[in-house]
């Protein structure tokens, strides 16, 4: 088989690229080792859509911040066009003392500066973004009656939303499929060799020739890059454990709620209702081997304690549905400033590595657009289709 562009990996990153490339008159194939798309990192996260106002790790000037912020106004239209659930729930970040307040002052300033001023690096018109605001204790308790009463107030972000990333991934894939992208499921890459400026991809289902390769293999991105010496990044694989509670708990809580971690760091002290009406708590994070998917009692107990810390009057123990683990890539662990890697290695033309990590789902509307611009800048010729459908979907078989 020959294709113009091969995408290795059927997670949210690769599928965003596939959907964007389906607007052009080129042959594109997504190579996915599982029997469906979005089954690994994409489906094992907090399900939050944010612009970074909830995180001190979104450093101004990073690609991480830029793509998340630029994705904000794209989500409602994408949800409508592709018919997947998208719900704004808002985020409440509790202030316990002056230390929290000072940190949130910095966070509020950073969010506003990046998002609503015309001279900011990532300007978004005010009608697309409601600025975060401080709210007093009474307002917090009115919004969340079961919340911990031992607070001074909170920083509130009304823009925070939730989706089902697996559902979003499926929508991206089916739109790409409708517009002509090929999907090779149950197909695992065994070897990739350079052939001139193109590539020969050996899989368990035969060989594929491609002029351009997009490496979107998630936590296994390094293994794919090593085939052609295209590894121009480093990262730490972080395992996260999340616990889900039933709808009875979900009905009692309306917003994403968290406090800044102190002794808990690097773990997250966060809980939120899901798009399906359940309730989610965590994340317990640890460095381990990427093959270690074990759910430990210690991690589950941590997540239960997070929920109880935020909502002490609710009995969570009898409402657990499941706990599960997932992996994400974290870059720059020595500095603490995570950033996306989406670029072309210096010595391997016609190859793009995509390494996301935290908030990858949030940035997914912009990821494909960013990659297409990189492809165009190489001189690779692509022409837009006249019959592209932004709403069409076709089930992958």
pLDDT digits (tens, 9 = 90+) for 245-256: 999 999 999 999
CATH 3.30.9.10 residue ranges of the chain are: 236-330
Q: What is the pLDDT of residue 348?
A: 96
Instruction: Specify whether the CB–CB gap between 53 and 159 falls below 8 A.
Output: yes
Q: What is the pLDDT of residue 104?
A: 86
Residue 175 has pLDDT above 90, yes or no: yes
Q: What is the pLDDT of residue 51?
A: 60
Buried b (16+ CB within 10 A) or exposed e, 356-372: bbbbbbbbbbbbbbbbb
What is the pLDDT of the chain when averaged over all its residues? 89
SS3 of residue 173 by DSSP: helix
CATH 3.50.50.60 residue ranges of the chain are: 2-43+166-235+337-377
Local confidence band at 294 (pLDDT 50, 70, 90 cut-offs)? very high
Q: What is the pLDDT of residue 163?
A: 95
Q: How many residues does the chain have?
A: 397
Gyration radius of the chain's alpha carbons: 21
Q: What is the pLDDT of residue 222?
A: 94
Secondary-structure class of domain 236-330 per CATH: alpha beta
In this structure, whether the domain defined by 2-43+166-235+337-377 belongs to CATH 3.50.50.60 is answered with yes
The Cα-based distances of 15 to 30, 207, 340 in angstroms read 8, 21, 17
Q: What is the pLDDT of residue 49?
A: 87
pLDDT digits (tens, 9 = 90+) for 108-165: 776 655 554 555 555 555 566 677 899 999 999 999 999 999 999 999 988 889 999 9
- 321 or 159: which leads in pLDDT: 321
Residue 329 has pLDDT above 90, yes or no: no
pLDDT digits (tens, 9 = 90+) for 34-58: 999 999 888 888 788 876 555 555 6
Share of the chain above pLDDT 70, in %: 90
Whole-structure pTM value: 0.92
Residue 239 has pLDDT above 60, yes or no: yes
């Amino acid at each position: 088989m020959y294709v113009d562009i091969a995408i290795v990996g059927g997670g949210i990153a690769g599928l965003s690229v596939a959907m964007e490339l389906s607007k052009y008159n080129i042959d594109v194939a997504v190579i996915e080792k599982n029997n469906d798309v979005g089954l690994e990192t994409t489906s094992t996260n907090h399900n939050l859509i944010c612009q970074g106002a909830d995180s001190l790790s979104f450093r101004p000037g990073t690609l991480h911040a830029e793509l998340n912020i630029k994705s904000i106004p794209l989500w409602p239209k994408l949800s409508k066009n592709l018919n997947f659930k998208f719900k704004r729930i808002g985020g409440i970040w509790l202030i316990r003392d002056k230390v929290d307040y000072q940190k949130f002052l910095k966070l509020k300033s950073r969010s506003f500066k990046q998002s609503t001023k015309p001279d900011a690096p990532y300007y978004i018109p005010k009608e697309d973004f409601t600025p975060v605001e401080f709210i007093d204790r009474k307002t917090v308790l009115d919004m969340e009656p079961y919340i911990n009463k031992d607070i001074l107030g909170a920083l509130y972000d009304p823009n925070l939303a939730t989706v089902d990333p697996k559902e979003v991934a499926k929508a991206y894939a089916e739109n790409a499929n409708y517009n002509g992208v090929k999907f090779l499921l149950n197909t695992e890459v065994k070897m990739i060799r350079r052939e001139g400026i193109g590539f020969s991809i050996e899989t368990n289902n035969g060989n594929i020739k491609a002029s351009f390769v997009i490496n979107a293999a998630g936590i296994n991105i390094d293994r794919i890059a090593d085939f052609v010496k295209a590894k121009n990044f480093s990262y730490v694989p972080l395992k996260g454990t999340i616990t889900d509670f039933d709808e009875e708990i979900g009905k009692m809580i309306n917003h994403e709620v968290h406090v800044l971690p102190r002794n808990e760091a690097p773990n997250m002290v966060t809980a939120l209702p899901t798009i399906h009406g359940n309730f989610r708590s965590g994340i317990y994070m640890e460095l381990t081997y990427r093959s270690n998917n074990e759910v430990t009692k210690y991690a589950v107990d941590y997540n239960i304690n997070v929920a109880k810390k935020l909502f002490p009057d609710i009995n969570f123990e009898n409402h657990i549905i499941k706990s599960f683990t997932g992996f994400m890539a974290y870059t720059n662990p020595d500095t603490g400033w995570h950033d996306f890697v989406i670029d072309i290695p210096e010595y391997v033309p016609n190859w793009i590595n995509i390494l996301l990590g935290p908030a990858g789902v949030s940035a997914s509307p912009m990821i494909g657009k960013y990659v297409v611009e990189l492809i165009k800048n190489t001189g690779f010729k692509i022409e837009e289709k006249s019959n592209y459908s932004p709403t069409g979907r076709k089930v992958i078989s």
